[in-house]
A and B are shown apart, each in its own frame.
Chain A
């Protein structure tokens, strides 16, 4: 069969782009403030933390799993990092914080492997449990108190730069994002381990019988996800300069939403970090537009939930 152009397929594959364009046009028509410099900076900032978490989540989903523990990881990494700035210095705090995120992700993979949990449903429940553990540790560690960076005496220049610094017209956090995106894209598409992750998500049994190291893939995807969640946590608390022990709440669902809306299938195997960027952009723009248009927060949750359902519905209708 020759490949014919089909409008239906084009729409199914690029719906998210079409949606972004439509959303921007409608919002500009209703609320010209959307294009103000202040609002655009605002969007770039909101884009930050979620984009990092979603990039990591993309690998977990391509690998055929899911990770609900990012909420707990973000909270714990944020409070631990902020609390270590004064006693250890900012560089040490940053390194320990990011390493902690990667370690917690690694821990998730070890729990999954030792439990023999190799399905998405099992991963859903195990990481849900792990998230509760990490969140609770964050609360115990801080006694429930929010950490304020303004109370600290140590040097915070790195975090100031991450939170509000710019290089030309681009924010520092956006640059970190571009570097991460490039590195992860190359990892996924050009390296053996990246490809092994796709095979693992595509068909675990066939991958294992062909000698693909599926356990290594599981370790990699969760470690990357933990690492990216930690970077997201640093970007987040640097911008708002406080770290509450529940700061990561809601990021797991928004990240999964962004990945799926971007077009990475929950079935595993196929997907791309580039698609996820579009997904994050759509979700961020949508929040921004709805705020500008005065849509109530409750209604926003209804819309987000509906979009997730529609995205999965559409995914199942793509021509195989």
Chain B
């Protein structure tokens, strides 16, 4: 084997990996240079996560070679990777919430640090080196997402990492926190550490990365310096076709008041009152944790809340549990598709009929031919890509899984459809399809409450936007006439 150029920290050559029925990676080759920020973009299912898991040792590659820092790596485990100097920071952090910052950084290595005093002293030094002022004795559970991320970065540094992989690091950060993250990344780069930055958000890639690799369907489509690509090029490479419109034309169907919500008060929400019009798409904008999800869960009866009032068509209604909401034609598309939306081990059909099954019964018996008909209808209507209605929903892509949950609610002809992060983790093409479905719902007389952390989609789809900050409604805007900056300022408070 030829001697690797020492300017390359990680060389991946012809790596393939198959899962039953899917070729997740197909002859992937990428070189990561020392001291640069290398972006990896691609839709969900493009193979980014699989590649990272092979590097960290969670998965084993089928074929190909991986050379890290001049050393060919055949089999590895997460801890061996760390010791070699390769750290991965996952979207959901790997920290122990009930232990202190210092303990987390040197977890399992207290002896090397000569006990707790040494641990905290060393942790302090490392935190200072990235300009972070968190007290090393604070419990990690009390930290914000941004602070946890810094602890993760510090932990990576404590292993003398030469390469740090960050998987969607910005997903729970505010814009100020993101700026600070970028400063830290620039500083790491100056010290010669390489960063692999995986993100959906193209703005960040353009701002931060030196080189970008685009992946699609398990292949590397292109690797280029960022300056040589335009945003449109990148999207075209990601989806394999050019996308003319990211959003359908904004529906304008808003009519009379359909639902009024009066004074929801909990320990997290303060005097939440608003109204929803018939045929309207109402966007709720706020930071993660501002209370957006809590508001809709209170309306649906998913959380026990007392003392508030919900009126539909002027008449007060009682919603104590989600089943009551369903009877009134209110459906909730929950924010976490896998944990709250789907029964992953069940078939596509079972998942689609879940909410409407009680309407298909006679004397308590289910009409199974109707059931099949409903599943087929929604699969066709929503273009759900699945081998059959009996396929486990687990094996579908994120976008198709989400369509199953949407189809479930469309089947009850919802008066009000509440969508919490409807496009989270699904690819650009499927996003557009979800937007079109939303448009159909309001055109058929339904109303939608939409929660999203992606400001552009709320602003492009909603007729009206409410901003939520720390459990309060802080503003109401017409997204067609007010700038995104004004709305964001109101959401940050």
Contact = CB atoms under 8 A, between A and B. Distances in A.
Interface string A206-228: 11111111000000000000000
Contacts of A192: 357-358, 361, 364-366
Given A206-B342, A320-B345, A320-B394, A212 B361 contact: no
Interface in B337-390: 339-346, 350, 354-355, 357-358, 361, 364-366, 368, 387
B357 A209 contact: no
Contacts of B355: 210-211
10 contacts: A190-B365, A199-B343, A199-B346, A206-B342, A209-B302, A210-B326, A210-B355, A211-B322, A267-B345, A320-B395
B332 interface: yes
Nearest to B330: A211
Contacts of A249: none
Interface of B: 20-22, 300, 302, 321-323, 325-327, 332, 334, 339-346, 350, 354-355, 357-358, 361, 364-366, 368, 387, 392, 394-395, 408
Interface string A240-281: 000000000000000000000000000101100000000000
Give 6 nearest A-B pairs by CB, closest first: A1-B21, A211-B326, A202-B343, A211-B323, A203-B343, A210-B354
Contact of A191 (B22, B339, B366, B395): B366
B270 to A, nearest CB: 25
B364 A195 contact: no
A269 to B, nearest CB: 6
- In which size bucket is the chain A interface? 20 to 34
B408 A210 contact: yes
Contacts of A207: 343, 354
A267 B345 CA distance: 10
Contacts of B340: 205-206, 209
Contacts of A198: 346, 350
Candidate in A195, A209, A213, A270 with the most chain B CB atoms within 10 angstroms: A209
Given A192-B366, A203-B342, A203-B344, A210 B387 contact: no
B387 A1 contact: yes
Interface in A27-58: none
A198 B395 CA distance: 20
B20 A319 contact: yes
Candidate in A199, A205, A211, A320 with the most chain B CB atoms within 10 angstroms: A211
A272 to B, nearest CB: 14
A199 B323 contact: no
A187 to B, nearest CB: 9
Given A192-B366, A203-B342, A206-B341, A213 B21 contact: no
Given A190-B366, A205-B340, 19 more contacts: A1-B20, A1-B21, A1-B387, A190-B365, A190-B368, A192-B361, A192-B365, A199-B346, A199-B354, A203-B343, A203-B344, A207-B354, A208-B322, A209-B300, A210-B322, A211-B323, A267-B345, A269-B343, A319-B20
B366 A195 contact: yes
A212 B364 contact: no
A211 B358 contact: yes
Candidate in A196, A267, A320 with the most chain B CB atoms within 10 angstroms: A320
Contacts of B361: 191-192
A202 B325 CA distance: 22
A212 B345 CA distance: 17
B318 to A, nearest CB: 15
A190 B364 CA distance: 9
A212 B387 contact: no
